[in-house]
């Protein structure tokens, strides 16, 4: 057993309080560790901006477990180790002629961490990454190793489990035949054209610095390589003639290839390349998921705060995510507009603006991303909240996997 070197999250705003950190190399070792621990939490790649993954007990990384990638061509699935990064899995899948239907903007994040928090990517018809899960294996509080699949009544509650039900060791994911994508960046999208733009390609991201009341700064269109490119005057925008980074001033070489150059899905659907630091690094993040039909009204509600938002903002990204039936998915039961804020790395300056954004979005039943910064109650608009509470009681009655954040969101 080796110690996990990380003592803080990726952004550096959370210093882990764990008394001990572990990286077991076998599932049996992990089971013994969980059985003997009073409090334990699984650690992914640390791309969580709140204390969801923090504990005063034992912090466990699954990155040292065998890096399973088992492709089942007949069933159209792949079974993978929980600690694998999406970018590493994607490379191996593509080499075998397969793909995941969707990826997040960062290929650096672990498969299990992205699934547990319903991290999502973009696309009108694309569900978040957790919707690809066909089965999962986890170590429960008493050290048992169990498997759940779509035939199990508990499955839809356990997939987006926030690490609260056990330590996930492997996941089985749906796959599709590999495909190529072209990525185009367009500049100066009129605000009135947002809805049309969000439906214009396989995956779409719209970026704004909240410095203009009439236009968004950039639109990233990720479309199948055999589709025609956007017209020269597409939605009254202009084509970027050089590669762009979504954060002003950051080097475009960190980003996936643009300008319509075709490439495999895993080298275009993420915004950032696996070998480079994602985004800016020195940042905080918040994100709220809103009903898609409320997009215009919700953005208008934020407009009076635009100057205050812009003062502490690096970039805001707007994306769509398709509805699903996973109990704690922010996209449960409704097509979604995700409004993502990459803030500067000054928590004191960001805090009052974050609170104002929450207040202004409150009428639209927002669901915050579980792994990002927020202060309001995240559970109010989840129809299966009580069912998940019952699942917590069934899987972890003594609270072995609980954290301060989970106790706040799901009080016993």
Quick one: fold of 180-368? Alpha-Beta Plaits (3.30.70)
10-residue stretch averages of pLDDT, the chain, 412 residues long: 61 90 96 96 92 93 95 98 96 98 93 96 96 98 97 98 98 98 98 98 98 96 98 98 94 95 97 77 92 97 98 98 98 98 97 98 97 94 96 97 95 90
Question: By CB neighbour count within 10 A (0-12 exposed, 13-18 middle, 19+ buried), where does 151 fall?
Answer: exposed
Taking the complete model, does pTM exceed 0.75, yes or no? yes
The string of DSSP codes covering 367-399 is EE-TTS---S-S-TT-TTHHHHHHHHHHH-TT-
Instruction: Work out the angle at residue 173's Cα, subtended by the Cα atoms of residues 271 and 279, and round it to the nearest 5 degrees.
Output: 15
pLDDT of residue 2: 37
- The residue assigned the tokens 């993420």 is 270
Chain region(s) in the chain for CATH 3.30.465.10: 69-177
Any alpha helices (H) in 146-294, and if so which ranges?
Answer: 155-158, 194-198
Angle among Cα 135, 122, 239 to the nearest 5 degrees reads: 150
Q: State phi, psi for 362 to the nearest 5 degrees.
A: -55, -40
If one counts every other C-beta atom within 10 angstroms of the C-beta of residue 322, the result is 18
Report how far residue 397's alpha carbon sits from residue 410's, in angstroms, rounded to the nearest whole number: 13
CA distance 287 to 409: 17
The residues with which 99 forms a beta bridge, in sequence order, are 176
Residue 290: in which H helix or E strand, if any? strand 284-291
**According to the 3-state scheme, what is the secondary structure of 333-370?**
CCCEEEEEEEECCCHHHHHHHHHHHHHHHHHHCCEECC
State residue 304's pLDDT score.
Answer: 98
**Residues of CATH 3.30.70.2520 domain(s) within the chain?**
180-368
Buried b (16+ CB within 10 A) or exposed e, 38-55: ebbbbbbbbbbbbbbbbb
Within 150-274, strands assigned E span 167-174, 176-177, 180-190, 203-208, 215-224, 238-239, 263-264
Can you give the pLDDT at residue 4?
Answer: 42
Residue 281: the pLDDT is: 62
CATH class of 69-177: alpha beta
């Amino acid at each position: 057993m080796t110690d996990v070197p990380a003592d803080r999250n990726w952004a550096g705003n959370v210093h882990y309080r764990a008394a001990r950190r572990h990286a077991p190399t076998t599932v049996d070792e992990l089971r013994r560790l969980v059985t003997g621990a009073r409090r334990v939490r699984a650690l992914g790649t640390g791309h969580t901006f709140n204390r969801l993954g923090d504990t005063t007990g034992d912090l466990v990384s699954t990155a040292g477990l065998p890096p399973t990638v088992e492709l089942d061509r007949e069933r159209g699935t792949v079974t993978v180790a929980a600690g694998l990064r999406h970018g590493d899995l994607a490379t191996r899948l593509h080499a075998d002629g397969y793909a995941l239907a969707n990826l997040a903007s960062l290929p650096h994040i672990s498969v299990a961490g992205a699934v547990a928090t319903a991290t999502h990517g973009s696309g009108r018809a694309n569900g978040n990454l957790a919707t690809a899960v066909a089965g999962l294996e986890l170590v429960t509080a008493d050290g048992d190793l169990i498997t759940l699949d779509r035939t199990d009544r508990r499955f839809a509650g356990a997939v987006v489990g926030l690490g609260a039900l056990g330590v996930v060791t492997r996941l089985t994911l749906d796959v599709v035949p590999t495909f190529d994508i072209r990525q185009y960046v367009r500049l100066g999208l009129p605000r009135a054209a947002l809805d049309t733009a969000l439906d214009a390609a396989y995956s779409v991201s719209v970026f704004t610095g909240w410095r203009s009341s009439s236009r968004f700064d950039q639109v990233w269109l990720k479309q199948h390589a055999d589709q025609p490119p956007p017209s020269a005057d597409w939605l009254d925008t202009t084509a970027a003639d050089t590669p762009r980074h979504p954060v002003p001033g950051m080097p475009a070489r960190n980003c996936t290839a643009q300008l319509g150059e075709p490439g495999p899905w895993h080298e275009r659907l993420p915004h950032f390349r696996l070998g480079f630091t994602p985004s800016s690094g020195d940042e905080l993040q918040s994100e709220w998921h809103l009903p898609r039909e409320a997009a215009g009204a919700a953005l208008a509600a934020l407009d009076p705060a635009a100057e205050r938002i812009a003062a502490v903002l690096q970039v805001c990204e707007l994306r769509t995510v398709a509805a699903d039936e996973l109990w704690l998915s922010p996209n449960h039961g409704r097509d979604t507009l995700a409004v993502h804020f990459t803030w500067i790395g000054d928590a004191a300056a960001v805090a009052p603006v974050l609170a104002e954004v929450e207040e202004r979005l409150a009428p639209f039943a927002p669901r915050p991303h579980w792994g990002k910064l927020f202060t309001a109650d995240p559970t109010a608009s989840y129809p299966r909240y009580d069912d998940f509470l019952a699942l917590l009681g069934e899987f972890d009655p003594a609270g072995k996997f609980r954290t301060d954040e989970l106790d706040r969101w799901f009080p016993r």
